[in-house]
Chain A
Amino acid sequence: MPRLHWEDFSPGQVTECGSRLITRAEIVAFAAEYDPQPMHLDEAAARATLFGGLVASGWHSCCVLMRMLTDGLIGDTSFMGAPGVEEVQWLAPIRPGDRIKARATVLETRASRSRPDMGFVKFRFELINAADQPVMTLTVSPMFGRRAANATREDEPMAPSER
């Protein structure tokens, strides 16, 4: 059974989710696959863009944040995914060699009206660079299973239709 459930979150909670070095190789590999624009692929071409040098794709930042949150927070929870993301702001570029931290702040929690086995937790997630400057914020309300619901299905997980 996961350690944290919907009931364990409350507004104002802040969780630091570790740090990660963003390498040039990682920036270029992600861009080659999903966002092959010059400023994410090639140092010389990137210098000619408004960024003035190689920067990570904003989508790469989203994916890195997701991974850091999984490892640092939601991996040990009854996380059920999210129906969407309210807002993402790309505030400053991430450059090769930047060490970034992820931080999660709980804004509010609400029970699901239609699904008594789960609830929503609204978070503001931030990626923060070594200068302590936020480079990205992401506001999202993922779903978490409730403790009682998880206790009943601990031995034999059930599909939604069976609950």
Chain B
Amino acid sequence: MKFFEDIRVGEITNLGRHTFTADDIKAFAARFDPQPFHLDEAAAARSHFSRLCASGWHTACVWMRLTVNYRRREGEELRSRGELAAQLGPSPGFRDLKWPKPVYAGDTISYATEVVEMRPLASRPGWGMIFVRNTGVNQHGEPVMSFLSMVFVECRDRELRES
């Protein structure tokens, strides 16, 4: 992860793509969200979704996985150039999570994140808070997920002070 000082409002990061298979959709749903429309094609056909679709939590968890993968790659690139990578603090949560369209079996979702606001933390010197809008778009260009999350990011001066 980049340091707080190196992040800019408006920055958009493409996190990568993921294809949701019917088997993955059902396996996730069986563990965490066992609704008929996430578990079984025939039951889904009779539901308001009309077809087997992924749990919205599944769509969001894949965002998390791709985000972790991206941050890891970014950290490795920084270190390979001899630079330091910033630490992340705990996230206090998120809001405005929307699933405007279902993710159907076979859909490929492209995930991205955009920095929408940032502020230094008076209460925790050396750390800043960034607000990011995270999105998922299907292969037809239709948004399937969006939410606003908050992350604590280390400032460069904290790293310098403590090293």
B92 touches A66 (CB 8 A): no
Number of CB contacts from chain A to chain B under 8 A: 92
A89–B98 alpha-carbon span in the complex (Å): 16
Q: Is A67 an interface residue (CB 8 A)?
A: yes
B99 touches A84 (CB 8 A): yes
B90 touches A160 (CB 8 A): no
B residues 52-109 in Cβ contact with A at 8 Å: 55-57, 60-62, 64-65, 68, 87, 89-100
Q: Is A87 an interface residue (CB 8 A)?
A: yes
How many B residues face the partner with a CB closer than 8 A? Answer: 35
Q: Is A132 an interface residue (CB 8 A)?
A: no
Which B residues lie within 8 Å of A89 (CB)?
92-93
Which B residues lie within 8 Å of A90 (CB)?
90-93
Nearest-Cβ distance from residue B78 to partner chain A, whole angstroms: 17
Which B residues lie within 8 Å of A83 (CB)?
98-100
Nearest-Cβ distance from residue B51 to partner chain A, whole angstroms: 10
Q: Secondary structure of the A side of the interface?
A: mixed
Which B residues lie within 8 Å of A57 (CB)?
64
Stretch of A5-13, A29-37, A98-106, A119-127 at the chain-chain interface = A29-37
A81–B45 alpha-carbon span in the complex (Å): 15
Which B residues lie within 8 Å of A159 (CB)?
45-46, 48, 50
A95–B150 alpha-carbon span in the complex (Å): 22
A63–B72 alpha-carbon span in the complex (Å): 24
Which A residues lie within 8 Å of B45 (CB)?
159
Instruction: Select one of B34, B46, B49 contacting A70, CB under 8 A.
Output: B34
B9-43 contact mask (Cβ, 8 Å, vs A): 1 or 0: 00000000000000000000001111101000000
Q: Is A157 an interface residue (CB 8 A)?
A: yes
Q: A35-B64, A79-B35 are in contact. Are A58 and B93 (CB under 8 A)?
A: yes
How many A residues face the partner with a CB closer than 8 A? Answer: 35
Nearest-Cβ distance from residue A54 to partner chain B, whole angstroms: 14
A143-163 contact mask (Cβ, 8 Å, vs B): 1 or 0: 000000000000001111000
Nearest-Cβ distance from residue B24 to partner chain A, whole angstroms: 10
A70 touches B33 (CB 8 A): yes
Which A residues lie within 8 Å of B68 (CB)?
35-37
Q: A34-B61, A88-B93 are in contact. Are A160 and B98 (CB under 8 A)?
A: no
B57 touches A62 (CB 8 A): yes
Q: Which B positions have Cβ atoms within 8 angstroms of A?
A: 31-35, 37, 45-50, 55-57, 60-62, 64-65, 68, 87, 89-100, 147
Q: Which A positions have Cβ atoms within 8 angstroms of B?
A: 33-37, 49-51, 57-59, 62-64, 66-67, 70, 75, 79-90, 93, 157-160
- Identify 25 residue pairs between A and B in the complex whose beta-carbon atoms are under 8 Å apart, listed by A's number: A33-B65, A34-B61, A35-B64, A35-B65, A50-B87, A62-B57, A63-B31, A63-B32, A63-B61, A66-B33, A67-B32, A70-B33, A70-B35, A80-B47, A80-B48, A81-B37, A84-B97, A86-B95, A86-B96, A87-B94, A88-B94, A90-B92, A90-B93, A93-B90, A160-B48
